Amino acid sequence: MNNGVNVAVFGATGAVGAEMVKVLEERNFAVNNLRLLASRGGRSMKWRGGDVPVEAVTLASFEGIDAALFAVEGDVSREWAPLAVRSGAVVIDNSSAFRMDPDVPLVVPEINEEDMVTHKGIIANPNCSTIIALIALAPIHRAVGIKRLVASTYQAVSGAGKAGLDELEQQTRDYAQGKPLSVSAFQYQIAFNLIPHIDAFGEDDYTKEELKMRNESRKILHAPDLRVSCTCVRVPVARSHSEALTIETERAISPEEAREILKTAPGVKVVDAPLDKKYPMPLDTADQDLIYVGRIRPDQSLDPGKHGLVLWVSGDQIRKGAATNAVQIAEVVIS
Ligand SMILES: NC(=O)c1ccc[n+]([C@@H]2O[C@H](COP(=O)([O-])OP(=O)(O)OC[C@H]3O[C@@H](n4cnc5c(N)ncnc54)[C@H](OP(=O)(O)O)[C@@H]3O)[C@@H](O)[C@H]2O)c1
């Protein structure tokens, strides 16, 4: 593709959209023309040393666009993705709108790039916590088969978009100044607190966010029988989700074997020297694409004769959990 492709970022002014623009530039993506879309215009964003105007999305927005990166909520995606596809664009969608549609590939390029070949115009980017967990778990699954996963997530406020980050910062400032705290992005005060409630409650009192970990992991790993139980918690961290993952495996695997497998796995950095106080933490993983994995140890709760491990992971959910994964998918699409 000599002259590059025409790319739209829809939701460009949000947490994920703005990061997509940054990642496209960093990875020197072959962009010919970049169109930035949001609910309204009257703004501009930096791109390759210049300013690109933000346009209000309209029916004409996707004309001539080859790849449309969607970083908007699910109902907005549901409305606009079919229109973008009709205009000839391939849509890479970050919302949960299409993820479980059997006609829509759900892709982490390091794990199941081959699933993309069957796309019919829309490719879905998985849930951020699921991407972060599976970058670490897929190589272990390939080696010894994972049959059960118990996950507890510690999710950054920016996972709720720009409004979530703004709220933690404002509450922290107000707290320091002895002012009353106002709450709008989350159910309760998030500064100096944590909230075990992300997305709406659904089946069996699990939240939809928790069920995404189960359903999306099964689809990405092609493991329909994988048993998953997940608890998702919002924590007062700006950026990068962390997760405690307990896995039961088909075949035996020692922590040393897992570390060896993960050392050469794409997208992973093993940080696992607990006696030297080296383990994954969100401050270390923010603003980059690698998923850090550490605290790898035997699961002491297993029945005799069963196999499994406990791991701790941390990764930037706006980058590998959203923007970078979407741009990687777009790179495969245009190649
Ligand atoms: N944040 C994360 O860590 C993360 C991770 C993975 C996936 N996701 C998913 O990525 C998507 C975007 O999340 P975000 O965190 O970036 O949200 P955000 O910061 O709230 O940004 C939302 C974007 O959508 C635009 N928008 C909102 N309503 C619109 C409408 N009716 N018509 C057109 N544009 C509209 C906003 O434009 P205006 O500026 O004009 O309002 C803004 O650009 C969501 O589906 C989210 O679930 C987020």
Q: Report the separation in Å between the CA atom of 13 and the middle of ligand 1, taken as the mean of its atom positions.
A: 8
User: What's the CA-to-centroid distance between 57 and ligand 1, angstroms?
Assistant: 13
Beta bridge partners of 47: 50
52-79 confidence digits (pLDDT tens): 999 999 999 999 999 999 999 999 999 9
Tell me how far apart the alpha carbons of residues 198 and 233 are, in angstroms, rounded to a whole number: 7
Output the domain CATH number for residue 200. 3.30.360.10
Ligand 1 contact via 253 beta carbon (within 6 Å): no
3: helix, coil or strand? coil
What is residue 274's DSSP assignment? G
The reply to whether ligand 1 has any atom less than 6 angstroms from the CB of 130 is no
106 and 135 both lie in a single domain? no
pLDDT at 29 over 50: yes
Q: Is 82 exposed, middle or buried (0-12, 13-18, 19+ CB in 10 A)?
A: middle
* 167 and 114 co-located in one domain: no
Shared domain for 160 and 307, answered yes or no, is yes
Mean pLDDT, residues 296-318 taken together: 98
Q: What is the dihedral of CA 230, 104, 19, 138, to 10 degrees?
A: 50
Same domain, 31 and 117: yes
- CA–centroid distance, 193 to ligand 1, in Å, is 25
Tens-place pLDDT, residues 98-146: 999 999 999 999 999 999 999 999 999 999 999 999 999 999 999 999 9
Q: Sign of the C-alpha dihedral, residues 268, 27, 115, 132?
A: positive
Question: Are 222 and 117 contained in the same domain?
Answer: no
Sheet (strand 31-38) strand order? 43-47, 50-56, 31-38, 5-10, 67-70, 90-93, 122-124
Q: What pLDDT band is residue 335 in, cutting at 50, 70 and 90?
A: confident
Residue 1: predicted pLDDT: 44
23 touches 324 (CB < 8 A): yes
Shared domain check, 326 and 296: no
Active site residues: 128, 241
Q: Is 162 in the pocket of ligand 1 (CB under 6 A)?
A: yes
Residue 256's SS3 state is helix
Same domain, 43 and 176: no
What is residue 62's predicted lDDT score, i.e. its pLDDT? 98
- pLDDT of 3: 75
309 and 161 both lie in a single domain = yes
Ligand 1 binding pocket mutation candidate from 39, 154, 184 (most atoms within 8 A of CB): 39
Q: Is the CB of residue 41 less than 8 Å from the CB of residue 54?
A: yes
Q: Which two tokens stand for residue 128?
A: 């951020």
Q: Is 322's C-beta closer than 6 angstroms to any atom of ligand 1? A: yes
Q: Look at the alpha carbons of 188, 285, 261, 132 in this order and tell me if their dihedral is positive or negative.
A: positive
Q: Which among 73, 76, 79 is the best mutation to test ligand 1's pocket, defined by most ligand atoms within 8 Å of the CB?
A: 73
- 119 and 183 within one domain: no
Q: Which domain holds residue 300?
A: 130-316
Q: How far is the CA of 229 from the centre of ligand 1 (A)?
A: 27
| Residues 6 or more apart whose Cβ sits within 8 Å of residue 260 | none
**35 lies in the same domain as 77:** yes
CA-to-CA distance for 183 and 189, rounded, in angstroms?
A: 6
Instruction: Output the domain CATH number for residue 54.
Output: 3.40.50.720
Is 323 near ligand 1, meaning CB less than 6 Å away? Answer: no
- What proportion of the chain, given as a percentage, has pLDDT over 70? 99
The whole-model pTM stands at 0.97
Total domains present in the chain: 2
Does 291 share its domain with 176? yes
Residue 255 and residue 174 share a domain: yes
Does ligand 1 come within 6 angstroms of the Cβ of 76?
yes
